């Protein structure tokens, strides 16, 4: 279990993390979602004892990372940014170094090391000095070392960043397979689709503040914001556009081309039906009326916009 309580980190003027309170329950996979600069890495760095917090608490399995980092991190595997490796060691030697620090016997490390390198498809490189491995290889190795000691908690900072599309798919598959093994996973990402695909819940953060934290399922149902594309058989005059703009629950209406406009709408399905009727009352002959884009994406964009 991971608990963040009123966690705050100030970098001179910037509040990178702002009074963040969040709990990742055991055996859950939580996506830590936010655009670049939202404060994801900063939060994870505090959780992994790389930087200190300005105030608040970060607790892993009931142990405060700030006051007792060694005990708190005992059962944790982490990938923070794309770590660099010691270029003079091979992947297997790296695992032996880290495994010994984590209390594994050489035999355990060799056995587990084969498994985890296999898991991230690095087996063929296990005896090659890391030296100039590509970023993708390092990223996969980073995941392998995080899994090595079968920790209860996995903390992954943008685990697919820097990978090519195939690598991204592979890493996502790896994480999905880990979910079946009872890991508690806290994974940051700026990609909504990735979080939706992998995680049970999403915690949305922007400018260091937690905006929303809920299960993916629940988020999907509560999402009311939608973009609706409206197509007509004739050009839409400007006065009708402004009329649409001021209709109830309409956030905005923008012309895409003379006969098509997109309405950003924040309302229930019932209210949406009313919207269609109201548009038709303006004398427009509607030939198409359909949602565009995914509702969660809309919400993500909207929330980020609002919190600016």
Partner 1 sequence: MAEEREATYEIPSDLAQIPTVWRYEILRYFRSRRLLAALAVVGVILSVIYLLPPLYDSPYSGTDTEVSLHIEFDDLGSGIPEYVGSINRTAIDGGTLEVFVDGEPYPSLDGVNWVFSSREAGGLGFNAILFMPNVIMQNVSEVTATYEWYTPPESFASNFIGFVSILVIICVTAFAADSLVGEFQNKTGYLLFPNAVKRGTLFAGKFAASVTMGVVVVGLYYGVVAALSIVSARGVDDDYMLSFLLAIEYLIAATAIAYFISSLLKGTTGALVLTFFLLFMILPIVDGVSMFSGVKIEGSVTFAAGAISYILQDPYPADSMMDVGMGMEIHSFYPSPETAAIVMLLYAVIGCMLSMVLFKRKQLAG
Ligand X SMILES: Nc1ncnc2c1ncn2[C@@H]1O[C@H](COP(=O)(O)OP(=O)(O)O)[C@@H](O)[C@H]1O
Which residues here bind partner 1, judged by CB under 8 A?
A: 11, 45, 48-52, 69-71, 73-76, 78, 80-81, 83-86, 88-89, 93-94, 97-98, 100-104, 108, 115-116, 118-119, 142, 145, 149-152, 155, 177, 181-183
What is the rounded CA–CA span in Å between residue 82 and residue 41?
11
Which parts of the chain fold into alpha helices (H)?
40-47, 69-72, 91-101, 106-119, 135-147, 165-179, 192-198, 216-222, 238-245, 269-281, 295-306
Site for ligand X in 196-225 (CB under 6 A): none
Q: If binding is defined by CB under 6 A, does position 40 make contact with ligand X?
A: yes
Q: If binding is defined by CB under 6 A, does position 126 make contact with ligand X?
A: no
**Candidates 10-18, 89-97, 116-124, 250-258 — which segment interacts with ligand X by CB under 6 A?**
10-18
CB 7 within 8 A of CB 66: no
Please identify, using beta-carbon distances, which residue of 61 and 196 lies nearer to partner 1. Answer: 61
Instruction: Identify the sign of the CA torsion 176, 50, 5, 151.
Output: positive
Closest approach, Cβ 104 to partner 1, in A, equals 5
Judged by CB under 6 A, the number of residues near ligand X is 11
Sequence-distant contacts of 129-134: CB under 8 A, at least 24 apart: 129/87, 129/88, 129/89, 129/90, 130/85, 130/86, 130/87, 130/89, 130/90, 130/91, 130/94, 131/87, 131/88, 132/87, 133/85
Binding partner of 136, given ligand X, partner 1, Mg ion, none, CB within 5-8 angstroms per partner class: none
Please identify, using beta-carbon distances, which residue of 39 and 99 lies nearer to ligand X. Answer: 39
Binding partner of 39, given Mg ion, ligand X, partner 1, none, CB within 5-8 angstroms per partner class: ligand X
What's the chain's Rg over C-alpha atoms?
24
Q: If binding is defined by CB under 5 A, does position 41 make contact with Mg ion?
A: yes
> Nearest to Mg ion by Cβ — which residue?
41
Of 1, 5, 8, 14, the one binding ligand X (CB under 6 A) is: 14
Beta carbons within 10 angstroms of residue 181's beta carbon: 9
**Candidates 33-41, 70-78, 89-97, 110-118 — which segment interacts with ligand X by CB under 6 A?**
33-41
Closest approach, Cβ 209 to partner 1, in A, equals 20
Residue closest to 154 by CA, chosen among 131, 128, 176: 176
What are the Cα distances from residue 14, in Å, to 18, 37, 66, 205?
A: 10, 11, 21, 15
Please identify, using beta-carbon distances, which residue of 11 and 86 lies nearer to ligand X. Answer: 11
| Residue ranges that bind Mg ion, judged by CB under 5 A | 41
| Residue ranges that bind ligand X, judged by CB under 6 A | 11, 14, 16, 34, 36-42
């Amino acid at each position: 279990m991971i608990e963040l309580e009123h966690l705050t980190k100030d970098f001179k003027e910037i509040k990178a993390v702002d009074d963040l309170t969040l709990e990742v329950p055991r055996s859950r996979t939580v996506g830590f979602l936010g655009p670049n600069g939202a404060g994801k890495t900063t939060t994870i760095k505090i959780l992994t004892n790389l930087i200190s917090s300005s105030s608040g608490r970060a607790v892993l399995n009931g142990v405060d990372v700030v006051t007792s980092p060694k005990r708190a991190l005992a059962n944790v595997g982490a990938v923070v940014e794309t770590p660099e490796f010691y270029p003079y060691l091979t992947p297997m030697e790296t695992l032996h170094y880290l495994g010994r620090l984590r209390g594994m016997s050489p035999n355990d490390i060799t056995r587990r090391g084969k498994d985890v390198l296999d898991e991230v498809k690095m087996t063929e490189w296990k005896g090659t000095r890391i030296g100039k491995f590509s970023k993708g290889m390092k990223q996969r190795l980073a995941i392998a070392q995080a899994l090595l000691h079968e920790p209860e908690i996995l903390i992954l900072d943008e685990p697919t960043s820097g990978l090519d599309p195939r690598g991204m798919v592979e890493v996502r598959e790896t994480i999905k397979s880990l979910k079946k093994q009872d890991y508690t996973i806290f994974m940051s990402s700026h990609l909504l689709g990735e979080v939706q695909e992998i995680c049970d819940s999403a915690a949305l953060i922007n400018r260091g503040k937690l905006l929303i934290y809920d299960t993916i399922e629940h988020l999907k149902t509560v999402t009311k914001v939608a973009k609706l594309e409206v197509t007509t058989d004739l050009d839409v005059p400007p006065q009708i556009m402004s009329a649409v703009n001021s209709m109830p629950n309409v956030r905005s209406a923008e012309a895409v081309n003379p006969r098509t406009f997109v309405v950003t709408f924040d309302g229930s399905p019932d209210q949406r039906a009313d919207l269609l009727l109201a548009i038709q009352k303006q004398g427009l002959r509607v030939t198409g009326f359909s949602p565009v884009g995914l509702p969660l994406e809309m919400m993500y964009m909207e929330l980020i916009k609002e919190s600016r």
